Each structure stands twice: as structure tokens, then as C-alpha cells.
């Protein structure tokens, strides 16, 4: 391979050139129709799709979304199905304080509102359209409804009987809601408060501006945990640990958490952990299929690239595909130019970028199509680099500076 | 009677020397980690551009590592410094071996070649060959899966 052919910048320049029909034709004629890799020769789409699922086990996913042990315990806790048996019988609570607390709690529950998930579902957005979602916190702020939970499941949730816990805990200002009344402070209380002896105000913490009632917060924390928010998972783990120790508030919160989880189970048909891209939707996206279909599987290299596992899912490395492709026909400038000419606009630029910056091209892009295009370019670039380094007389430093220094020296 | 104080002095002295050598060998884990970062940067393990290419600097660093008891790292740096002193024909032979390795299809053989390169201090070439070999294995596996499913 000549130095000119080894110039990766040339490939990028090809992207900006307008490729004429005759040039395309000649490129097709000059290209070798020999299959690049074995998977290429077989235009079996379903097989390719199942390979992806075989190559992306849950272990990889969990490795990508690393969670601490406490967070994993909390996640397991969320998945726990069986509802716990009530520890205390309400009928036993006969004290006047308990009865009063029970009535107050019931009134409080009636006043509190539960966010309706159905109101947040946008029917205009098709499945798999938003594969890369904002972080859980941003998600929480934008759409309180969890994507895993079915819209119909949310309204079914009935808050657990708070009086059960309240009956055993003396009601405090924070636990028993009262109508906001303007209490006029006396002179002495004002004076005492100056020296820090006055009554402390109850903290008014909110979770992402959703209010501070227990039901809303419970739902919010569980949704966040299911979306991969490790803070929420740790919070649940902490509540569970404190509940086990017998802390009254934690016991109450834990009951709410379990009740919410029981009423809103995770939809098992579409499991998703953290930021895992919806690769099923991605593999079935129109962009994945059009390339091969349009060509009728005529060009094995092209189908190889569009069907290569590395181009499908961001979790996979592109290098094995590049190695496989490097054993195919030579990736010359005309061949790469012809390949680039099949893309248009941003996609073409992304492929050219991937080819040029094969080692360090960032794959951070909003659109999955663009991510795929960059990865495709990287595969071609890496394969071309491997092919180039095999050529006798080629510059090894162009392949890798360090290897060049080791094998060629400072020449 | 004269031997007893002498024995005590000898014992105390030996214990002192042993303690000193032990404290020198067992470095703080944080210091060790820092040294490993320096070593990896020097050989360009993470970024080829950071590798030290001046043999004199490599030898100086090797001496420092040796003084701190990190013999394996010191040896590796020494070997890298010696890479530049190979005759031209040996360099050509090594280049040819690397090219053949990057064209091979047997991952086991590529791994053997990578080990040979690492032994002589060419860690960059060894890393590239290993990466290629693992890519080769993965590509073969996915090929087999496709064959089975077709």
C-alpha cells in the first residue's frame, strides 16, 4: 500500500466531495466482490440480531452500570415481590392517641395526590425513539413517570394505612399534618429563640420539587432507583437497614416503599438497567436495515459493516470487526470513497470522522444513527490501519508512534 | 562476661538493620501506585505519545526504580533503553516479525509473538499484537455463532 493510500486524511476529504454516478459505477466495478468476512456472505438478518443478543449478556450490562453492593441489595429489595405481613393489628390500637392519629393520617392521605403516569406518556413518541435518555435526575424532573411501569398500573396504587405506624408512634408536628395556621409567637418565645432556645421548625425537604408527602416521595425514590439512580438505591438500603433496627420513621417509610413496589411491579417484558441502550429497538431501527436491503446484499463489505456487531451497540468494541474486515479485500482510497458515497449529510461526515480518527474518535452523539456511523468509520479506519502495517516498507509510526519507536527507532 | 554485652550490641544492631531494610522495601501503597503510574507513562502503556524515548532518561529512571526495589520495572526500562542499540538488520527482522504477526490468523501464535516482544522490552508492539489476537479470537467466535445460526 502506497503512502498516499495510507493517508487517512484523504478518506475524510472524500466525504466532502460529491461523488458522481460514473465514479460510483467505476468504484463498484473496481472493487473486489470477495466476501470480507464469513458473516458477510450470509445475509441472514435474524441470525445477526440473535448474535447481538448473545454477545450482550446481562453481565456486560451490569459491568457497564457498575453499582455498589449496597445499591445492588437495594435493587434486589425493590424487585422483591411478596408483601410483608402486617406486624401490628390496627384493632389492637385502642388508645385515644392512636385513634386520633389514625383519623389524622386518613385525612392526610386523602389530601395527598399521587402523580398520574398516564398524563406523562406521550403517544407521539414511538418505541425506541429516545434510546439515549437524560440522566435519572433530569428524567425525574422532566417526566416523573418511570418508563418501565405501565401507565395503567400507577393509579392502582393505594397508599398503605399510615395509621398502622402512626398508632405506635406519638404523633409529632412533622408526622401529623395540620392546616397551616398563623401562630403568633409570644414575646418570650421570640426572646428565647434569639438565644437558640425556641422551638425548632420542622424541616421542609422536597424531592425534586415534588412536595414532601410520604407517598410522593416513596414513588419518586422507587422510580429513581429503577432508573439506575444510585443515590435513590442507597437511600432505600438505608431505610431498610434502619427499619430492621426498629427506627419508627424508617419502619413506616419501608412499609410505604414495599407497598408501592408491590402495587407497581417492574414490567419484565422490557427490562432495562441504567443507561443500557435499547439494543433491540436499535437493531430493528429502519437505519440498520435499509443499507443491506437497498443493495440487495450485493456488496458483501458494505453489508459486513452495516451488520457488524460493533456497529450495533455502543457497548461492543469495534476492534474484532476491524480485524475481521482487515482479512478481506484491500481498503483502498477509491473503495473507501465509494463506501462513503453511500451516506449523505451528517452520517457521511460521521463515517469520515471515524475513519480519520480511528483510535480516538469519540462516540458521544445524540443520535444513534450518528453513533453507528462513527463506529462504522472507526471499523474501516482500524481495518485499513492493520492492512497498512502489514505492507512491507510501510511506516509503522503511522500505525502507532510507540511501536514505530520500538521497532524502527528514531530514524 | 565480655561476650555478653557484645552479643547484645550485635543483636540490637541486626534488628535495627533488618527493620530499616524492611521499612525500605514495604512502600506505602499510595507511593507504589504513583510509581506504577510513572512506569506506565514511561513505557506509554495508556497513551503511546507519553512514552519516554530518550535512552539516557530511561536508564536514569530505571536506576531510580532499582534503588526503590522495583526490579522488574527497572529491568523493563533498561531493556527499552537497549532497544535503540540493536543493529539495523535485527531491527528489520523485528519489523518483519511484527508485520507477520499482524497478518496471522492463529491467536495463540500471535500471543507467543507478543510475549517475545515483551521479553525484549517492546511493550507497545506486544500490546498491539495482543489486542489483535483477542480481536481475532472474538471475530472467529462470532463467525462460528453465525455459522451455527445460519
pLDDT tens-digit map of B82-140 = 888 888 888 888 999 999 999 988 888 899 999 999 888 898 899 899 989 888 877 66
Contacts of A39 in chain B (CB under 8 A): 142-143, 146
More confident position, A173 or B60? B60
Tell me if A93 sits within 8 A of A102, measured CB to CB: yes
Whether residue B142 and residue A309 make contact (CB cut-off 8 A), yes or no, is: yes
Check if B57 contacts A (Cβ < 8 Å).
Answer: no
Check if A290 contacts B (Cβ < 8 Å).
Answer: no
Q: A–B: how many Cβ contacts below 8 A?
A: 106
Instruction: Chain A: give the shortest CA distance to residue B29, in Å.
Output: 23
Q: Provide the pLDDT for residue B105.
A: 86
Three-state SS for chain A is CCHHHHCHHHHHHHHHCCCCHHHHHHHHHHCCCCCCCHHHHCCCHHHHHHHHHHHCCHHHHHHHCCCCHHHHHHHHHHHCCCCCCCCCCHHHCCCHHHHHHHHHHHHHHHHCCCCCHHHCCCCCCCCCCCCCCCCHHHHHHHCCCCCCCCCCCHHHCCCCCCHHHHCCCCCCCCCCCCCCCCCCCCHHHHHHHHCCCCCCCCCCCCCCCCCCCHHHHHHHHHHHHHCCCHHHHHHHHHHHHHHHHCCHHHHHHHHHHHHHHHHCCCCCCCCCCCCCCCHHHHHCCHHHHHHHHHHCCCCHHHHHHHHCHHHHCCCCCCHHHHHHHHCCCCCCHHHHHHHHCCCCHHHHHHHHHHHHCCCCCCCCCCCHHHHHHHHHHHHHHHHHHHHHHHCCCCCHHHHCHHHHHHHHCCC
Instruction: Chain B: give the shortest CA distance to residue A391, in Å.
Output: 7
Contacts of A35 in chain B (CB under 8 A): none
pLDDT in tens, chain A (411 residues): 444 443 433 333 333 332 233 332 333 333 333 333 333 332 222 233 233 233 322 332 233 233 444 445 544 544 444 444 334 343 444 444 444 444 444 444 444 433 333 333 333 433 333 333 333 443 444 433 333 444 343 444 444 444 444 344 444 444 444 444 556 678 888 777 777 776 665 555 544 554 567 778 888 888 888 777 888 888 998 998 899 888 888 888 888 888 888 887 765 544 444 333 333 333 334 443 333 333 333 344 555 555 555 554 444 467 877 888 888 788 888 888 888 888 888 888 888 888 888 777 666 666 777 888 888 888 888 888 898 888 888 888 888 888 888 888 776
Closest partner residue to A406 (CB to CB) among B96, B125, B143 is B125
Q: What is this structure's pTM?
A: 0.43
Whether residue B122 and residue A54 make contact (CB cut-off 8 A), yes or no, is: no
Q: Provide the pLDDT for residue A3.
A: 43
Instruction: Chain B: give the shortest CA distance to residue A403, in Å.
Output: 5
Q: Provide the pLDDT for residue B129.
A: 92
Contacts of A55 in chain B (CB under 8 A): 142
Q: Provide the pLDDT for residue B98.
A: 92
User: How far apart are alpha carbons A215 and A231 in whole angstroms?
Assistant: 18
Whether residue A392 and residue B99 make contact (CB cut-off 8 A), yes or no, is: yes
Closest partner residue to A39 (CB to CB) among B98, B138, B143 is B143
Mean pLDDT for chain B overall: 82
**Where is A162: in which H helix or E strand?**
none
Check if B82 contacts A (Cβ < 8 Å).
Answer: no
Tell the burial category of A282 from Cβ atoms under 10 Å away from its Cβ (0-12, 13-18, 19+).
buried
Closest partner residue to A400 (CB to CB) among B48, B94, B103 is B48
Whether residue B105 and residue A327 make contact (CB cut-off 8 A), yes or no, is: yes
Whether residue A38 and residue B147 make contact (CB cut-off 8 A), yes or no, is: yes
Closest partner residue to B94 (CB to CB) among A405, A407, A410 is A407
A 367-386: CB under 8 A from B: 386
Whether residue B98 and residue A407 make contact (CB cut-off 8 A), yes or no, is: yes
Instruction: Chain B: give the shortest CA distance to residue A35, in Å.
Output: 13
User: How far apart are alpha carbons A338 and A296 in whole angstroms?
Assistant: 17
User: How far apart are alpha carbons A71 and A326 in whole angstroms?
Assistant: 43
Query: What is the end-to-end Cα distance of chain A in Å, rounded?
Result: 21
Tell me if A19 sits within 8 A of A10, measured CB to CB: no
Closest partner residue to A396 (CB to CB) among B95, B135, B150 is B95
Contacts of B48 in chain A (CB under 8 A): 400-403
Amino acid at each position: 500500500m502506497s503512502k498516499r493510500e495510507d493517508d487517512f486524511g484523504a478518506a475524510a476529504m472524500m466525504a466532502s466531495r460529491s461523488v458522481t454516478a460514473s465514479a460510483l459505477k467505476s468504484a463498484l466495478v473496481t472493487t473486489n466482490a470477495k466476501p470480507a468476512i464469513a458473516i458477510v456472505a450470509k445475509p441472514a438478518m435474524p441470525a445477526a440480531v440473535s448474535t447481538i443478543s448473545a454477545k450482550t449478556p446481562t453481565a456486560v450490562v451490569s459491568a457497564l452500570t457498575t453499582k455498589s453492593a449496597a445499591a445492588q441489595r437495594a435493587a434486589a429489595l425493590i424487585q422483591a415481590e411478596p408483601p410483608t405481613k402486617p406486624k401490628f393489628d390496627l384493632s389492637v390500637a385502642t388508645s385515644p392517641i392512636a385513634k386520633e392519629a389514625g383519623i389524622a393520617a386518613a385525612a392526610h392521605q386523602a389530601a395527598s395526590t399521587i402523580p398520574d403516569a398516564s398524563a406523562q406518556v406521550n403517544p407521539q413518541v414511538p418505541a425506541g425513539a429516545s434510546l439515549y435518555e437524560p440522566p435519572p435526575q433530569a428524567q425525574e424532573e422532566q417526566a416523573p413517570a418511570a418508563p418501565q411501569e405501565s401507565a395503567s398500573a400507577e393509579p392502582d396504587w393505594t397508599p398503605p394505612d399510615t395509621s398502622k405506624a402512626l398508632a405506635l408512634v406519638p404523633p409529632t408536628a412533622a408526622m401529623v399534618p395540620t392546616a397551616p395556621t398563623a401562630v403568633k409567637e409570644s414575646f418570650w418565645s421570640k426572646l428565647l429563640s434569639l438565644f437558640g432556645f425556641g422551638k425548632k421548625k420542622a424541616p421542609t425537604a422536597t424531592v425534586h420539587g415534588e412536595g414532601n408527602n410520604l407517598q410522593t416521595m416513596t414513588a419518586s425514590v422507587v422510580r429513581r432507583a429503577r432508573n439506575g439512580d444510585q443515590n435513590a438505591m442507597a437511600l432505600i438500603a438505608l431505610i431498610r437497614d434502619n427499619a430492621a433496627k426498629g427506627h419508627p420513621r424508617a419502619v413506616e417509610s419501608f412499609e410505604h416503599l414495599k407497598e408501592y413496589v408491590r402495587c407497581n411491579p417492574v414490567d419484565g417484558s422490557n427490562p432495562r438497567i441504567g443507561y443500557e441502550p435499547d439494543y433491540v429497538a436499535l437493531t430493528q431501527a429502519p437505519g440498520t436495515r435499509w443499507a443491506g436491503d437497498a443493495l440487495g446484499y450485493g456488496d458483501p463489505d458494505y453489508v459486513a459493516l452495516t451488520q457488524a456487531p460493533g456497529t450495533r451497540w455502543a457497548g461492543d468494541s469495534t476492534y474484532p470487526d476491524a480485524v475481521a474486515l482487515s482479512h478481506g479485500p484491500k481498503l483502498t482510497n477509491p473503495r473507501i470513497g465509494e463506501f462513503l458515497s453511500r451516506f449523505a449529510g451528517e452520517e457521511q461526515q460521521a463515517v469520515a470522522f471515524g475513519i480519520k480518527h480511528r483510535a480516538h474518535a469519540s462516540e458521544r452523539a445524540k443520535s444513534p444513527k450518528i453513533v453507528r456511523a462513527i463506529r462504522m468509520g472507526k471499523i474501516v479506519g482500524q481495518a485499513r490501519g492493520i492492512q497498512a502495517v502489514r505492507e512491507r516498507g510501510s511506516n509503522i509510526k503511522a500505525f502507532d508512534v510507540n511501536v514505530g519507536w520500538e521497532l524502527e527507532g528514531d530514524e | 562476661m565480655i561476650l555478653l554485652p557484645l552479643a547484645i550490641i550485635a543483636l540490637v544492631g541486626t534488628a535495627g538493620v533488618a527493620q530499616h531494610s524492611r521499612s525500605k522495601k514495604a512502600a506505602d501503597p499510595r507511593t507504589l501506585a504513583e510509581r506504577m503510574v510513572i512506569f506506565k507513562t514511561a513505557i506509554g502503556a495508556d497513551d503511546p505519545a507519553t512514552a519516554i524515548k530518550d535512552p539516557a532518561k530511561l536508564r536514569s529512571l530505571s536506576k531510580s526504580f532499582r534503588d526503590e526495589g522495583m526490579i522488574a520495572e527497572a529491568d523493563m526500562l533498561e531493556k527499552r533503553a537497549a532497544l535503540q542499540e540493536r543493529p539495523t538488520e535485527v531491527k528489520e527482522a523485528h519489523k518483519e516479525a511484527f508485520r507477520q504477526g499482524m497478518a496471522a490468523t492463529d491467536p495463540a501464535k500471535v500471543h507467543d509473538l507478543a510475549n517475545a516482544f515483551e521479553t525484549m522490552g517492546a511493550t507497545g508492539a506486544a500490546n498491539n499484537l495482543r489486542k489483535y489476537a483477542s480481536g481475532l479470537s472474538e471475530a472467529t467466535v462470532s463467525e462460528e455463532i453465525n455459522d451455527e445460526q445460519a
